Chains A and B, each alone.
Chain A
Amino acid sequence: MPLFKVSIDNITVEVEPGTTILNAARKIGGKIVPPAMCYYSKLKGSGGKCRTCLVKVVRTSASDPRPMPKLVASCSTLVQDGMIVENTISKEVLEARKHVVEFLLINHPLDCPVCDQAGECDLQNLSYEHGVSGSRYEEERRTFERIDIGDLIQLHMNRCILCYRCIYVADQLTDKRVHGILFRGDKAEIGTYIDQVIDNDFSGNVIDVCPVGALTDKTFRFKSRVWFTKPYDAHRECSKCKGKAVLWMSGKEILRVTARKDAYGEVEDFICNTCRFEKKDLDDWTLEGPRNIKHESVISQNLYELIKEPPREPPFKKK
């Protein structure tokens, strides 16, 4: 089948039919890629909800030159041949995005100083780029009690933006679904049917897919700000997952283990709970080298520019 030609912010790219506008933009890369808080390419059915990826379609296709009547979610709108899309060059889009960010923030606690996600938080980045310094919201924010989902994960619902990614992880990665959305509207919350723990080898991935600090790793809570830790690529033999992970180190200590994430904050391979929560000893891992964080965030700033290869000893030799 012939490729579709689509123009995004005046840059033309050719993509397979069935590609979304967002993925076409990712093929181009750079600043013209719309932000995505709920879409996750590895989770089927995700996307369309957060509305941060709204773009303007000024020409639907070569055969239908009309614009689309409303802004569309680029993550769930398929490209057509000859489509012309405006993202960063459209004032209307930037204005709408600014207000979507405003909506996402009105009930968000803005407790970044005590939030483990700070420094690698998609909402923090998004509001830095598209938000405003003040808020027009003067009302009381919705609040929830924190919930421990088992020993390893904490749900801080106040921070949740209801992207549904963790729901899709529970649905698609774990064999016994005990995780869903309860209630409606701004009272909706992530639920585990009355405090049932997510007792599953892959449940920890909900932490990695969470774009904010709503789901955090209890083995890492308050140990360090992420930007003080040094990420290293490492792998180990694992019977449950590929065992490819990033170790977030402070000196010789592994403070936390996460999956490897790409430039859009999406994991390359989901990892199992054994790798994530139990293997905190350097002997468990084979180090590959410093992790270059492509995802634009505080943690990607100036970490390894001068490092050619990872230091082998010390600090990596065990006592």
Chain B
Amino acid sequence: MGIRILTAQMHIEGIQQLDVYRRHGGYEAFRKVLNAMSPPAVLEEVKLSTLRGRGGAGFPTGMKWSFLAKNTGKPAYLICNADESEPGTFKDRYLMEKNPHLLLEGMMISAFALEAATAYIYIRGELFYVHQILERAIGEAYAAGLLGKNILGSGFSLDIHCHPGGGAYICGEETALIESLEGKRGNPRIKPPFPAVSGLWDCPTVVNNVETLAAVPWIIQNGGKAYAAIGVWKSTGTKLMSACGHIRKPGVYEVEMGLPVEEFIYSDEYCGGIRNGNQLKAVVAGGSSVPILPAALILKTAKGEARLITYESLSEGGFESGTMLGSGGFIVMDHTTCIVKNLWNFTRFYHHESCGQCSPCREGTGWMEKVLHRIETGHGKMEDIDLLSDVAKNIEGNTICPLGDAAAWPVRSTIRHFRQEFEDHVNQKRCPFSK
């Protein structure tokens, strides 16, 4: 078993409670920061760790923090993006539900580094019970003097507010999240300016994913170098993988970066292999938006090297033969799965969630869904397959925010790797997998 950073304490009874969390070393990292570190020193440790954003894009966290505009005369804000809604991704929910204080401690340290006096958790509205867990933890932290004015006599003050979203996937996009937090319609903003310069209420803002922030206390306690020593090359530390689909043991697993995908799928320690002894057909490795890969390409790269769970290895081969680590939403499909139906389902999601602001995404997502529905139900034509691919291509890269790309990538990759299945649907005038 590999090293555990985020899930190490989750088996402890009552760890959601402040006193239990503290008995197991909780808030020691925050205390260390308050007593002995300066904000630049904290930033330096995070930079040394080469921690990368766990929301999907994998942007180096230290670098993101260092972009925060300084001496603007305006307050800086830290926002925790807990609007986890990508199909197949449920790692943040697990983390917040099981160990809320770990996230709060990570936010406290991060806010200290950013010299932010106010931080927000924007939590997906559907996770109401998790919202309640967080509110309770925040209440405990205030009561213990870990939040509020002049924390533990250090002169550092911090308020954390937890704000539930209204149920839109698009509010996980950081600028739409900020709009929503300001009480407006959750439309992504046009960038630049980026939040680091002009974010919440036009003030410098850092938006980080739950998992990213939760890794910070360990980095402070053990040092950035120790974190960077885990993993492979530029993919350091551990990653939460939320595994679902046709595997024997679905769930959230913490893996060291660099674990072979094959081991992750087949080892009893993780997914435990494919259900009912079935054949692996395809994997969506990082949440529904990343390109799907067939069994051969998810286990080994086109060059024949073992595929590893790292940012670099999963994207080896570009979009031709690779994919992305994304958010770690690992969706496994066995040979009984209709790939076209799966794609229709994904596309239906993006159609439903497009904010409607820019033309290619608003119109294109609906178009793709309708064509896919026709193909899946046996009313497709051969030309529809190229049409779909072309519509996806015309959305990709031409939209305001990445939702357009997220809708286009699954379509293009599924056609690239599973064209035969689309043709079978057209030729047989029915779904070959339907009974």
A173 lies within 8 A of chain B by Cβ: no
In the complex, are the beta carbons of B190 and A48 less than 8 A apart?
yes
A312 lies within 8 A of chain B by Cβ: no
B83 CB, min distance to chain A CBs, angstroms: 15
- Interface pick from A69-77, A221-229, A258-266, A275-283: A69-77
Chain A interface, >50% SS class: loop
Residue of B nearest to A76 (CB): B190
In the complex, are the beta carbons of B356 and A187 less than 8 A apart?
yes
In the complex, are the beta carbons of A162 and B357 less than 8 A apart?
yes
A58 lies within 8 A of chain B by Cβ: no
> What CA separation (Å) do A180 and B184 show in the bound complex?
11
Q: Which residues of B contact A102 (CB under 8 A)?
A: 394
Q: Which residues of A contact B365 (CB under 8 A)?
A: 185-186
Give residues 373-419 of B contacting A (CB, 8 Å). 374, 387, 394, 397-400
> What CA separation (Å) do A99 and B367 show in the bound complex?
13
Give residues 36-56 of A contacting B (CB, 8 Å). 47-52, 54
- Interface code A86-105, partner B: CB below 8 Å = 1, 0 otherwise? 00000000001001101110
In the complex where A136-B387, A184-B356, A185-B353 touch, is A48 in contact with B400 (Cβ < 8 A)?
A: yes
In the complex, are the beta carbons of A103 and B354 less than 8 A apart?
no
> What CA separation (Å) do A164 and B367 show in the bound complex?
22
Q: Which residues of B contact A183 (CB under 8 A)?
A: 356
In the complex, are the beta carbons of B394 and A188 less than 8 A apart?
no
Q: Which residues of A contact B354 (CB under 8 A)?
A: 184-186
In the complex, are the beta carbons of A103 and B360 less than 8 A apart?
yes
Residue of A nearest to B393 (CB): A99
In the complex, are the beta carbons of B398 and A70 less than 8 A apart?
yes
In the complex, are the beta carbons of B397 and A185 less than 8 A apart?
no
Q: Which residues of A contact B363 (CB under 8 A)?
A: 103-104, 106-107, 186
A139 lies within 8 A of chain B by Cβ: yes
In the complex, which of the residues A48, A96, A107, A180 contacts B358, with contact meaning CB atoms closer than 8 Å? A48
- Interface code A169-206, partner B: CB below 8 Å = 1, 0 otherwise? 00000000000110111111000000000000000000
B366 lies within 8 A of chain A by Cβ: yes
Q: Which residues of B contact A136 (CB under 8 A)?
A: 387
A166 CB, min distance to chain B CBs, angstroms: 15
Q: Which residues of A contact B74 (CB under 8 A)?
A: none
B298 CB, min distance to chain A CBs, angstroms: 27
B185 lies within 8 A of chain A by Cβ: yes
In the complex, are the beta carbons of A139 and B371 less than 8 A apart?
yes
Give residues 55-91 of A contacting B (CB, 8 Å). 70-71, 73, 76
A78 CB, min distance to chain B CBs, angstroms: 8
B216 lies within 8 A of chain A by Cβ: no
Give residues 99-155 of A contacting B (CB, 8 Å). 99-100, 102-104, 106-107, 136-137, 139-140, 142
Q: Which residues of A contact B352 (CB under 8 A)?
A: 184-185
- Interface size for A (C-beta < 8 A) is 35
In the complex where A48-B358, A184-B355 touch, is A100 in contact with B398 (Cβ < 8 A)?
A: yes
> What CA separation (Å) do A30 and B400 show in the bound complex?
27
A271 lies within 8 A of chain B by Cβ: no
A146 CB, min distance to chain B CBs, angstroms: 20
Q: Which residues of B contact A107 (CB under 8 A)?
A: 363, 366
> What CA separation (Å) do A198 and B367 show in the bound complex?
33
In the complex, are the beta carbons of A161 and B190 less than 8 A apart?
no
In the complex where A184-B355, A186-B354 touch, is A100 in contact with B360 (Cβ < 8 A)?
A: yes
Q: Which residues of B contact A103 (CB under 8 A)?
A: 359-360, 362-364, 367, 394
> What CA separation (Å) do A96 and B367 show in the bound complex?
17
In the complex, are the beta carbons of A184 and B168 less than 8 A apart?
yes
A71 CB, min distance to chain B CBs, angstroms: 6
In the complex, are the beta carbons of A185 and B360 less than 8 A apart?
no
In the complex, are the beta carbons of B190 and A50 less than 8 A apart?
no
In the complex, are the beta carbons of A51 and B355 less than 8 A apart?
no
Residue of B nearest to A101 (CB): B359
B108 CB, min distance to chain A CBs, angstroms: 35
B351 lies within 8 A of chain A by Cβ: yes
Q: Which residues of B contact A104 (CB under 8 A)?
A: 359, 363
Other 19 A-B pairs with CB < 8 A, given A71-B398, A181-B185: A49-B359, A49-B400, A50-B358, A52-B359, A71-B397, A96-B394, A100-B359, A102-B394, A103-B363, A103-B394, A162-B357, A180-B185, A181-B356, A184-B353, A185-B355, A185-B356, A186-B351, A187-B356, A188-B355
A sample of 28 inter-chain contacts (CB < 8 A) reads A48-B190, A48-B400, A50-B359, A54-B398, A70-B397, A73-B190, A99-B394, A100-B398, A102-B394, A103-B359, A103-B367, A104-B359, A106-B363, A106-B367, A107-B366, A139-B367, A139-B370, A161-B359, A162-B356, A162-B357, A184-B352, A185-B351, A185-B362, A185-B365, A185-B366, A186-B356, A186-B363, A188-B356
